[in-house]
Amino acid sequence: QGHVVRNWKVRWFVLLQDKLLYYKVEGGKKEPSPKGRILLDGCTIICPCLEYENRPLLIKLKTKTNTDYFLECCSREERDSWALDITGAIHAGHPVQVQELHRMKNSFKLLENISLHNIVERMYDSSTGIKLTRNLDQGNRYKETFTGSALVDWLISNSFAVSRFEAVTLASLLMDENFIRPVGVRSTEAMRSSDPSEKFLDDSTALYMFAESSKKNTSSKEEVHFNISELSGTIVKQGFLVKQGHKRKNWKVRKFVLRADPAFLHYYDPTKEDNKPVGGFSLRGCLVSALEDNGVPAGVKGNVQGNLFKIITKNDIHYYIQASSKAERVQWIEAIKRLT
């Protein structure tokens, strides 16, 4: 990804002992002189990097001067191979760390304080949990599923495992304890394997779902799950605003509650007495901005009184909200910006 223009370009990379060189490619050939370099001394590497939801093959490098580089590979195998080699180069002067890296890659010990219930609760989180999608397998459509490789990526990125081997073992435990279950031909057949290490597949074509998902799908109303931790933050602002619905695009009054540590914005239906939010999202990575009253954006329908502002989440979900006055709109925007 470019630093000035945030577009994605093909580059030819060469890994040296202390730096990563990248070259421009023209006519299928790399140019003789490098376009740039990434110094590996003091670098930290994040892999898998899930900052871009639609780009699961990313490696993130942060230099000691706090410059971020995002590199996208062509496959998970290539991504993991590059990540291991780059990590080895970063620690080249520390052979003990390199040995430890390879040891962790090929061994597994479940942390004593780890809780499978806690992992599943985090997986359900509406903003930072594992993304559920519709998938097609052998002509059958499955709702609210995730792939084996997506779960492995998620477990590593959330520090529940340090290698893919560990993450696969942990995912197998989740399956053994009936927190998740296989769906579709590939994952179901693997479940019948006599080898415990092959029961869960780290594969982008193997499908899994929460064991309770089938029960939820029979409900007439969509259930919204919230992690207790996201509702435990300090309330910094609350009040009534008008929000546009995502499906019907109608406008409804909602009570909004802004919390810090962790930073979340939840909204409640004032006609209900259970005091449970009907929606909410993490403010990490969000963008918030005022919308001019002399033009209605394409995503906005219905009765717009004015004082409109928009919040775009990290997952690219757009929320359109109306305040009662321009002053109130400014107050909400400033309060939200401080927490993003």
User: What does the pLDDT look like over 143-156, one tens digit per residue?
Assistant: 889 999 999 999 98
pLDDT of residue 100: 54
pLDDT of residue 230: 77
pLDDT of residue 147: 92
Closest CA to 71 of 92, 45, 102, 40: 45
**Domain range list for the chain:** 11-106, 116-210, 228-338
Phi-psi region at 78: left, alpha or beta (left = phi > 0; alpha = psi -120 to 50): alpha
Q: What is the CATH number of domain 11-106?
A: 2.30.29.30
pLDDT of residue 293: 55
- Torsion sign (Cα): 330, 333, 338, 339: positive
Q: What is the pLDDT of residues 57-96, one digit of tens each?
A: 889 999 988 899 999 988 777 887 888 888 888 877 554 5
Closest CA to 109 of 159, 157, 166: 166
Q: Which amino acid is at 131?
A: K
Q: Show the 3-state SS of 230-252.
A: HHCCEEEEEEEEEEECCCCCCEE
Closest CA to 286 of 324, 255, 318, 259: 318
What are the percentages of helix, strand and coil residues in the chain, rounded to 5? 25, 30, 45
Q: Is domain 116-210 annotated with CATH 1.10.630.10?
A: no
Q: Which CATH class is domain 228-338?
A: mainly beta
pLDDT of residue 220: 35
0.75 surpassed by pTM: no
pLDDT of residue 221: 40
Residues of the chain scoring pLDDT < 70: 53, 93-114, 138-139, 193-197, 212-227, 247-248, 293-305
Alpha-carbon distance 154 to 112, whole Å? 20
CATH topology identical between 11-106 and 228-338: yes
Contact 167, 108 (CB under 8 A): no
CA dihedral 196, 197, 199, 201 (to 10 degrees): 170
